[in-house]
Structure 1
Amino acid sequence: MFSRAIQRQTRQTTRLFSTASKQLNHHGPSGPYSNLFKVHNRRIPYAVPHTLFFVLGFGIPFFACWVQLKRSGSL
């Protein structure tokens, strides 16, 4: 009983790899992820709002700390 279960399990996990039937092209111009970072027809490049978002996001807490320390007289 257990030997049949083990044999059945080993048969199911055996995979045959073959690359002759299909050519894999990971660096081609087409595919589902080919336009992931290409944003066309924009007046402002995508890097500008992206950079401003992170500068403001990381800068506001530091500015708030500086204002509070300045008010308390620690600076």
Structure 2
Amino acid sequence: MYAPIIARTALRATIRRGANFEATSRRGFSSSQIVRSGDHGHHPEGPYHNLPFKVHNRKIPFVIPFSIFFLVPFLTPFGMAALAM
């Protein structure tokens, strides 16, 4: 009952694989990881160079915004509880 359907599906897969197998099995130089990533080796490396913000040579020391960012949400519930008492 299902034999003709399975045979047709297998035949289609074989035909498609034969037509596109040669084009998809080769890897060109333009598809290498370095070309696709856009990184060509001109970015500085080392600690703190992978961060999206400056850590050294800032006008405001890094510890101030870092502390504010983490302390305000942490201390807010305690302040609200103190005001409610």
The two structures have a TM-score, normalised by structure 1, of 0.46
More helix by proportion, 1 or 2? 2
If you compute each CA radius of gyration, which structure gives the higher value, 1 or 2?
2
The two structures have a TM-score, normalised by structure 2, of 0.42
